[in-house]
């Protein structure tokens, strides 16, 4: 998994401010001493990798990042190990989370939303063509490349899995507001949930588009159990206040993505050919 082993990371990088936290990691900014290049570094304590599940998740994440090269997916630079930690060095995306931009500026006008969503679609098409399912698409995992810019990249492959017809995905992972109903079948029974695949990402993308256009989630409840019940039944509405100026094309696309049955749900190819994305560049 490692590209290089060092006694200490400070021989190669100067670590800076904390940028975020994951399940068993912390992400920090870093400057490479040789050329002054700036990066984002996921720091994982090696002691946490004694847990087989954590080790497998990290190895899968690194293996996936190594094979992905796309304008709208975060790039891996290298993996460095020391006696105490493993460092996943990635490009630094300095524009902040899509989530924060929605909080700061409110819902996007439709043209801007379509431009952004087209970028996410291109990234997901690249992922799915490699048989990779992200499993945690949400605004917090879409970062702008620079402050005030419009280009975005998909990040955080900690939950990602490799899918095949012979070996579909299993298990509960993701974020409650964004997780697909078929993934939720693992919530109450870790042994008898439904197998699932790429369609689970399409559901999450449908929730994402709803949030971008309205500034709020389609599913909302005080108790998690009630929230998950809404998700399981695709129980949501287009409230007049938030949706009065949004086109029928946009709402139609969301309706076709937020379908409980993954066999009936719109495919990613169907999403990309939908009229909502008409005239958008989907070749990247």
pLDDT in tens, 80-96: 999 999 999 999 999 99
| Residue 68 Cα to chain centre, angstroms | 14
Q: What is the pLDDT of residues 217-240, one digit of tens each?
A: 999 999 999 999 999 999 999 999
Q: What is the pLDDT of residues 99-108, one digit of tens each?
A: 999 999 999 9
Q: Which residue has the tokens 């050329």?
A: 35
pLDDT given at position 141: 97
109, pLDDT greater than 90:
yes
Buried b (16+ CB within 10 A) or exposed e, 21-52: eeebbebbbbeeeeeeeebbbbbbeeeebeee
| Whole-structure pTM value | 0.94
What share of the chain in percent tops pLDDT 70?
99
| Predicted pLDDT at 159 | 93
Sign of CA dihedral 173, 177, 181, 186: positive
Number of residues that this document lists for the chain: 284
Please, which residues bridge with residue 69 across strands?
none
In angstroms, the CA 136 to CA 68 distance is 17
From 175, 212, 205, 190, select the one nearest 267 (Cα to Cα): 205
The chain-wide mean pLDDT, for the chain, equals 95
Give dist(CA 3, CA 31) in Å, integer: 18
User: Residue 139 above 90 pLDDT?
Assistant: yes
Per-residue pLDDT tens digits for 159-198: 999 999 999 999 999 999 999 999 999 987 666 799 999 9
For the chain, give the DSSP string: --SEE-S-GGGTEEEEEEEEE-SS-EEEEEEETTT--EEEEEEEEGGGGGSHHHHHHHHHHHHHHHH---TTBPPEEEEEE-SSEEEEEEE--TT-BHHHHHHHH-SPPHHHHHHHHHHHHHHHHHHHHTTEE-S--SGGGEEESSTT---EEE---TT-EE--SSS-B-S--S-TTT--HHHHTTSS-TTSPPPB-THHHHHHHHHHHHHHHHSS-S---SSHHHHHHHHHHT-----HHHHTTS-HHHHHHHHHHS-SSTTTSPPHHHHHTSGGGTT-----
Q: What digits encode the pLDDT tens for the residues 39-51?
A: 999 999 999 999 8
pLDDT for residue 189: 66
Residues catalogued as catalytic? 136
User: CATH says 4-91 is which class?
Assistant: alpha beta
Q: What is the model's pLDDT at position 4?
A: 87
Domain positions in the chain: 4-91, 98-277
Instruction: Report yes or no: 257 and 202 within 8 Å, Cβ to Cβ.
Output: yes
Phi, then psi, of 27 in degrees rounded to 5: -105, 130
CA gap 179, 127 in Å, rounded: 18
Identify which of 203, 212, 193 has the alpha carbon closest to the alpha carbon of residue 231.
203
Please state, as a whole number, how many other Cβ atoms lie within 10 Å of the Cβ of residue 17: 7
d(CA 90, CA 81): 14
The pLDDT score that the predictor gives to residue 190 is 67
42 labeled binding residue: yes
* CATH number corresponding to 98-277: 1.10.510.10
Q: Can you say whether the dihedral through the CA atoms of 105, 111, 114, 119 is positive or negative?
A: negative
Q: What is the pLDDT of residues 192-218, one digit of tens each?
A: 799 999 999 999 999 999 999 999 999
pLDDT of 24: 86
Report residue 113's pLDDT band, with 50, 70 and 90 as the boundaries.
very high
Rounded Cα–Cα distance for residues 284 and 215 (Å):
27
């Amino acid at each position: 998994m490692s590209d290089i082993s060092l006694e200490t990371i400070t021989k190669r990088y100067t670590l800076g401010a904390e940028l975020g936290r994951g399940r068993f990691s912390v992400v920090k900014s870093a400057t490479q001493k040789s050329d002054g290049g700036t990066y984002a570094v996921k720091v994982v304590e090696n002691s946490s990798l004694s847990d087989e599940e954590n080790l497998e998740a990290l190895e899968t994440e690194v293996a996936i990042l190594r094979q992905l090269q796309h304008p709208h997916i975060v790039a891996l630079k290298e993996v460095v190990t020391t006696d105490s930690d493993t460092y996943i060095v990635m490009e630094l995306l300095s524009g902040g989370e899509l989530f924060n931009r929605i909080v700061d500026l409110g819902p996007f006008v439709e043209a801007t939303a379509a431009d952004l969503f087209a970028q996410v679609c291109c990234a997901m098409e690249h992922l799915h063509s490699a048989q990779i399912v992200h499993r945690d698409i949400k605004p917090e995992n879409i970062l702008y490349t620079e402050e005030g810019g419009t280009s975005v990249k998909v990040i955080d492959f900690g939950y990602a899995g490799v899918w095949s017809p012979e070996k579909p995905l299993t298990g509960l992972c993701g974020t409650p507001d964004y997780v697909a109903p078929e993934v939720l079948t693992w919530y109450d029974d870790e042994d008898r949930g439904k197998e699932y695949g790429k369609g689970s990402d399409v559901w999450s993308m449908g929730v994402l588009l709803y949030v971008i256009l309205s500034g709020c989630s389609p599913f909302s409840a005080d108790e998690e159990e009630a929230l998950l019940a809404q998700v399981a039944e695709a129980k949501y509405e287009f409230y007049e206040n938030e949706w009065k100026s949004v086109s029928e094309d946009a709402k139609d696309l969301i309706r076709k993505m937020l379908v409980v049955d993954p066999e009936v749900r719109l495919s990613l190819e169907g999403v990309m050919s939908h009229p909502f994305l008409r005239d958008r560049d989907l070749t990247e």
